[in-house]
Amino acid sequence: MRVLFIQQGLGYGGASQSLIQMQKCLKDDVEMFTILKKNRRLNQKLRHLLIHSKEIVEMDIPGVYHYSEGKSSQEDLDYAMEYDAQELIHFILDKQIDIVHVNASVFSNLYEDIKSKTNAKIVTHIREVIPQSDDTITRFMVKEIRQFSDWIIPIAQEEMYYFSDLPQCQMVINPVDTSVFCLGKAMTEQGVIRLGMVANFNPLKGHLLFLEVASILNQMNAGAQILQFEMLGLPKPGFLHYKAWLPLKRFAYYREVMSKYKSLQLQNVRLLPFRTEVQSVIQHWHIGLRLEKSMMPWGRDVLELMSSGVAVVAVGNSEVVIQNGTSGILVDSLDAQSIAAKIQELIVDAEKRKSIATIARQWVEENASVPVYREQILSIYKKVLTT
């Protein structure tokens, strides 16, 4: 079985990490190839992680939607539609690819060419929530994915919105290597309660809300429980001298975050720079927060926290990963007071924290571990090839 993965460039987010885990767990069953959208700095830095790919090629493939930037435009769609996929088609034919596994929903402009000019099957991984709107771009993406995909894999219920009626649609939770994310020290440590959030530096991720919640919790616990907060994922100090590294909007966001941090006088909040390895930090946390503005209470950060024995409090109401009150706490609000109140319940109740953390770890092992993921993906591939 020969599978070609098409990836929107490598980075440090969930899509790239899931691709790495996917190739790792399929290495004994599938002959793999990878095409990366050009992103020279990160592709060159991280491509060594795709050690199980027989061949890795960069192509300047345009996408029709940019989730990380939260934008789409008719100009993007027009440019994508003008793209000549001849190089991609030649690669598929030359390598005799059986399945093209598109590891994003933004390359729907390629589907018709792949279907009409090759015999390859198409598996689409829905990793970006397609905007629930009736604009031209959304209609195009949905139509192409529905019409040409032989199988669709959303990673959560929210991403099934346009496809749940299709028999070839199956939700599969992203994988976590639970052997790396072992139960943390916070399960047994006493004294200081450590709370944290790990997130890429993006205005959607809720850094400002985290600081507001920390300030409220400090007031709630004044003279009582000692708290320590950590916010992991800020730009590294050296990069801030080069404004070109950060889009103008994100540089302004950085200044806004730092301004709030200083104005709230949060002496017990540590701002930690981005790092690829997070286990050594999060294993010391008792409570982990997911405060994304989209209110989607799932993601790689949530799964890694759950794997590490950290009780998670997340905003949103979807129970696809966190079962509210059992394997975590959900808060259906972006109100800082409401979030802080739920966190406070865990601060004062150590037994509840430990119970949630233990059940969460067990849930990940049963539903999102690498062996479970391997069986799910292989099953899909076999169905696609025999249908």
List of domains in the chain: 2-174+369-386 (3.40.50.2000), 185-367 (3.40.50.2000)
Give me the phi and psi of 186, to 5 degrees please: -65, -15
**Six token digits for residue 31:** 């002959």
pLDDT of residue 285: 95
> Is 304 within 8 Å of 181 (Cβ atoms)?
yes
- Mean pLDDT across the chain, nearest whole number? 88
Torsion angle, CA of 248/250/254/260, rounded to 10 degrees? 110
> Is 286 within 8 Å of 353 (Cβ atoms)?
yes
- Angle between helix 350-367 and 336-348 (nearest 10): 100
pLDDT band with cut points at 50, 70 and 90 for residue 225: confident
Other C-beta atoms closer than 10 Å to the C-beta of 18 total 21
The DSSP output letter for 132 is: -
* E strand or H helix that includes residue 93: helix 86-94
Amino acid in the structure at residue 84: D
Amino acid in the structure at residue 335: D
Other C-beta atoms closer than 10 Å to the C-beta of 296 total 21
pLDDT of residue 188: 52
Cα 252 to Cα 259: distance, rounded to the nearest angstrom? 11
Would you say residue 288 has pLDDT above 60? yes
Percent of the chain residues topping a pLDDT of 70: 90
Give me the phi and psi of 56, to 5 degrees please: -125, 125
- In tens, the pLDDT along 232-282 reads 988 876 555 444 445 556 778 889 999 999 999 999 999 998 887 888 899
Cα 29 to Cα 25: distance, rounded to the nearest angstrom? 9
Percent of the chain residues topping a pLDDT of 90: 61
Amino acid in the structure at residue 69: E
pTM for this entry: 0.86
Strand partners, 244: none
pLDDT band with cut points at 50, 70 and 90 for residue 219: very high
Do strands 311-315 and 329-331 pair parallel, antiparallel, or not at all (unpaired)?
Answer: parallel
Sheet of 99-102, strand order: 53-59, 31-37, 2-7, 99-102, 121-126, 151-154
> Is 24 within 8 Å of 370 (Cβ atoms)?
yes
| Rg, C-alpha atoms of the chain | 21
> Is 343 within 8 Å of 318 (Cβ atoms)?
no
Would you say residue 168 has pLDDT above 90? yes
Cα 248 to Cα 256: distance, rounded to the nearest angstrom? 12
Cα 108 to Cα 123: distance, rounded to the nearest angstrom? 11
pLDDT of residue 159: 86
Would you say residue 138 has pLDDT above 80? yes
pLDDT greater at residue 201 or residue 213: 213
* E strand or H helix that includes residue 315: strand 311-315
- In tens, the pLDDT along 31-47 reads 999 998 876 565 677 77
pLDDT of residue 184: 60
pLDDT of residue 245: 47
pLDDT of residue 244: 47
